[in-house]
Chains A and B, each alone.
Chain A
Amino acid sequence: MRAAIYRALCRMLPRRVLLASMRRGRVAAPAPTAAGGCPRYASSTEVTSDEFRLKEYGQKYLGYRKAAFTESLEIVDPARDPAFPIYRVTDATGKIIDQAQDPKFSEEHALHMYRTMTQLNIMDRILYDSQRQGRISFYMTSFGEEGNHVGSAAALAPNDLVFGQYREVGVLMYRGFPLEQFMHQCYGNHCDIGKGKQMPVHYGSSEHNFVTISSPLTTQLPQAAGAAYAFKMRPGNDRIVCVYFGDGAASEGDAHAAFNFAATLKCPIIFFCRNNGYAISTPTSEQYGGDGIAGKGPGYGLHTIRTSEEVTQWGGIDNPIVRFKRYITERGWWNEEKEKAWQAEVRKKVLTNLTSSEKEKLAHYHEMFEGVYKTVPEHLRRQRAELDEHIKEYGSHYPVDRQLTN
């Protein structure tokens, strides 16, 4: 058996790949034959037909896909293939192009989507300003991407687990994460359910099935695949996982890991890539050479679609909020009067929460030692006591008045 694998590998693989396999103990080298080295390919009597060889090839190397032989020496030029088409439902004016594709949102559903997008937009403007004023240390807006947040969130069940990158605030907001919690997190005050440990916009909520954001890009992708697999293993499971990431993050090795694991282990997962054209300052032309991120999917055996969100031109004339507003206005569910009242209401709510969040104290510094492990181990208890002693004498040099007393 092992000798057969080795012979097959001799034919198929460059030597360094074979050596790597041996290093992992995947194949062992057989005893050398009388002629020495790798045996030649089987004699013509053993090879009965092309069909047999194609079948064997397909089963062994192509995951049961069928390949054909070709006698023309042709190297595939990816640039000659058409790019993935961009699926759209409405045109730039918000009109449905093919009536059969109308999702037929209910009024309540559509208004919840619109209100979430606009509330996020208003919160973004206010918090962005407050960062520039030095009131919070960091902020990241979702301008222009509100549509993909709420559109996808609306299509998920509330108990589907979401893993995000950091620009998926609309998903959490759509699920009803309290407005004040966004601000508590940005200030890291004692009301923050994340306990003030992370930078602003690193939200999370177990109640809303939204896994806490972390800064290292793409780490959430293989994790999402693992969570999806574990869901699949639960009896009677009806949950899936949706994981969001940007086009820049898709260049990380973890993206490759996740796509491949999800495909081979058949995980119930949606990979949702937000391709907005840039990773900080790097344009996509410096990020990848292929047909975007969607172009990678079939290579892993993943079902793939590209939607219009990926390539929309941003700005005042064409953004998801403007388009969706047209959609609900045409249906008589929204008007300028309602718009004005809603804008004023949200602005007031955000400003009120911002002010009250800012006034809340930080948790006591003892919180710093909590959650490293499930219970505080002995060495950390010693370090906590050491800090207590220090603060007792040098407390005046620390912002002790900003924290709760224990």
Chain B
Amino acid sequence: MAASSLALKTAVRLPARRFASHFTYQPSVAPASLGAERTKMNLCQAVNNAMDIAMGTDQSALVFGEDVAFGGVFRCTVGLQDKYGKDRVFNTPLCEQGIAGFAIGVATIGSTAIAEIQFGDYIFPAYDQIVNEAAKYRYRSGGLFSCGGLTIRATCGAVGHGALYHSQSPEANFTHTPGLKIVVPRGPIQAKGLLLSCIRDPDPCIFLEPKVLYRQAVEEVPSGDYSIPIGKAEVLKTGKDVSIVAWGTQVHVVSEAAKLAEEKLGVSVEVIDLQSIQPWDEDCVAESVTKTGRLIISHEAPLNSGFGAEIASTIQKRCFLSLESPIERVCGWDTPFPHVYEPFYLPTVWRVFDAIKKTVKY
């Protein structure tokens, strides 16, 4: 993707300015508990660093997928083959069901598999292996076998010009499957800590990396070996009028909308990064909504049966007596992800802002 679009720029004269970015990245500050030494990294480097640490501490860990040997089309595996050898970091044939099945097999005998699916959009050929096999391995064997050492990394989310097959956010396609863990980081600090957790977690994990953040998101990442727990949300900003839940890139969109709403409407917004989509931190969200009485959920994926529906329904049940307005969902439309209409498709800062306005005025 990145390579071909670069090439196109040389071949075609582009309009002076495109609608390049729909958000402003808000860097995080890592807590002191994650270690004092820091290195400036983008998300791509943080992912690379996590795999480097995982491979250094676990001799059985293997990294593979399409084009990972030369460093990956997004440069996430740069240098790993030189450091750990061709047997531990290698290309596979171009076949996603094969990658997932092969990875399950590696994990079945207790080794660690870190498999890459080049784009989340191309994870569907592996859907059977992930849903019918990886997710059910431990359960169906009564615990005799498991593939807990399996982590599948895939890119996800809008990138400005990715159209139908370089933009999808497939998390809800997997949350309907018990046995899987699904994690989406919002920046380099979280990417490193959460990916290390996924790799070492005893259950199969899908780690979705918002590719628009690969280079854009830069911050001071703790240099050492640390982890961020799966299943825990993070409250990024406390507020008292309305809670907003998002994950991945969308966290930055809702954070910006929250700032706008405070400036223009005087509304106090609590922003929550869900981080783990499965299992998700019900208690954190319920506690927030019990306090604020209002909830907005925002994700890039389409509205219909998106993970926002699960959150809305659960919170409606747990917080019925606290809710002062209907739970609002600001999501992608129920269409395929379009090319030139991306700016109109995305749940933008202004759509989130409008949802805040309508929710508090309800």
Interface residues of A (CB under 8 A from B): 22-32, 161, 192-198, 202, 204-206, 211-212, 214, 216, 219, 221-231, 233-234, 253-254, 256-258, 260-261, 264-265, 370-374, 377-379
Inter-chain contact B97/A254, CB cutoff 8 Å: yes
Q: Closest CB of chain B to A280's CB: distance in Å?
A: 19
Partner of A28, one of B6, B66, B136: B6
The docked-state distance in angstroms from the alpha carbon of A204 to that of B111 is: 20
Given A219-B128, A265-B90, A227 contacting B106 (CB threshold 8 A): yes
The docked-state distance in angstroms from the alpha carbon of A253 to that of B203 is: 26
**B residues in contact with A373, CB < 8 Å:** 138, 179, 181, 202-203
For B, the interface residue count at a CB cutoff of 8 angstroms equals: 63
**B residues in contact with A26, CB < 8 Å:** 66-67, 73
Is B105 part of the binding interface, using a Cβ–Cβ cutoff of 8 Å?
yes
**B residues in contact with A197, CB < 8 Å:** 139-142
The docked-state distance in angstroms from the alpha carbon of A192 to that of B308 is: 40
Residues B110-147 near A (CB distance < 8 A): 111, 113, 118, 125, 128-129, 132-133, 136-146
Residue on A with the closest CB to B102? Answer: A226
Inter-chain contact A374/B148, CB cutoff 8 Å: yes
Task: A226-B102, A230-B60, A378-B282 given; name 9 further pairs at CB < 8 Å.
Answer: A204-B141, A204-B144, A222-B102, A223-B133, A226-B104, A227-B108, A254-B128, A260-B93, A378-B231
Inter-chain contact A161/B139, CB cutoff 8 Å: no
Is B88 part of the binding interface, using a Cβ–Cβ cutoff of 8 Å?
yes
Q: Identify which of B7-15, B38-46, B294-302, B331-339 touches chain A.
A: B7-15
Given A229-B106, A378-B282, A219 contacting B101 (CB threshold 8 A): yes
Q: Closest CB of chain B to A297's CB: distance in Å?
A: 16
Residue on B with the closest CB to A379? Answer: B279
The docked-state distance in angstroms from the alpha carbon of A24 to that of B136 is: 30
Is B3 part of the binding interface, using a Cβ–Cβ cutoff of 8 Å?
yes
Partner of B4, one of A29, A214, A222, A370: A29
- Jot down 24 A-B pairs with beta carbons below 8 A, ordered by A: A24-B66, A25-B67, A29-B4, A30-B7, A32-B11, A195-B143, A204-B145, A206-B145, A211-B141, A212-B141, A216-B128, A219-B128, A219-B132, A219-B133, A222-B129, A223-B104, A223-B108, A225-B102, A226-B107, A229-B102, A230-B109, A231-B109, A261-B93, A371-B142
Inter-chain contact B90/A223, CB cutoff 8 Å: no
Inter-chain contact B105/A28, CB cutoff 8 Å: no
Is B223 part of the binding interface, using a Cβ–Cβ cutoff of 8 Å?
no
The docked-state distance in angstroms from the alpha carbon of A65 to that of B62 is: 29
**A residues in contact with B109, CB < 8 Å:** 161, 227, 230-231
**A residues in contact with B179, CB < 8 Å:** 372-373
Q: Closest CB of chain B to A369's CB: distance in Å?
A: 10
Residue on B with the closest CB to A211? Answer: B145
Q: Closest CB of chain A to B123's CB: distance in Å?
A: 14
Partner of A253, one of B66, B93, B97, B140: B97
**B residues in contact with A30, CB < 8 Å:** 7
Partner of A226, one of B67, B108, B143: B108
**A residues in contact with B137, CB < 8 Å:** 212
Residue on A with the closest CB to B144? Answer: A206
Q: Closest CB of chain A to B107's CB: distance in Å?
A: 8
Q: What does DSSP make chain A's interface, helix, strand, loop or mixed?
A: loop
Given A261-B95, A377-B231, A233 contacting B111 (CB threshold 8 A): yes
Partner of B73, one of A24, A211, A226, A257: A24
Residue on B with the closest CB to A19? Answer: B4
The docked-state distance in angstroms from the alpha carbon of A192 to that of B113 is: 30
Partner of B105, one of A194, A196, A225, A378: A225
Given A212-B141, A371-B142, A233 contacting B87 (CB threshold 8 A): yes
Given A28-B3, A194-B142, A222 contacting B90 (CB threshold 8 A): no
Inter-chain contact A23/B60, CB cutoff 8 Å: no
Is B340 part of the binding interface, using a Cβ–Cβ cutoff of 8 Å?
no
Q: Closest CB of chain B to A385's CB: distance in Å?
A: 14
Q: Closest CB of chain A to B183's CB: distance in Å?
A: 14
Inter-chain contact A223/B101, CB cutoff 8 Å: yes
Is B94 part of the binding interface, using a Cβ–Cβ cutoff of 8 Å?
yes
Q: Closest CB of chain B to A396's CB: distance in Å?
A: 28
Residues B1-41 near A (CB distance < 8 A): 1-4, 6-8, 10-11
**A residues in contact with B7, CB < 8 Å:** 22, 28-30
Inter-chain contact A212/B145, CB cutoff 8 Å: yes
**A residues in contact with B3, CB < 8 Å:** 22, 25, 27-28
Type the 1/0 row for B220-232, where 1 means its CB is closer than 8 Å to any CB of A.
0000000000010
Inter-chain contact B95/A257, CB cutoff 8 Å: yes
Is B208 part of the binding interface, using a Cβ–Cβ cutoff of 8 Å?
no
Inter-chain contact A264/B93, CB cutoff 8 Å: yes
Inter-chain contact B139/A372, CB cutoff 8 Å: yes
The docked-state distance in angstroms from the alpha carbon of A224 to that of B145 is: 13
Inter-chain contact B144/A205, CB cutoff 8 Å: yes
Residue on A with the closest CB to B180? Answer: A373
Q: Closest CB of chain A to B349's CB: distance in Å?
A: 30
The docked-state distance in angstroms from the alpha carbon of A171 to that of B140 is: 20
The docked-state distance in angstroms from the alpha carbon of A229 to that of B103 is: 10
Inter-chain contact B8/A29, CB cutoff 8 Å: yes
Q: Closest CB of chain A to B279's CB: distance in Å?
A: 5
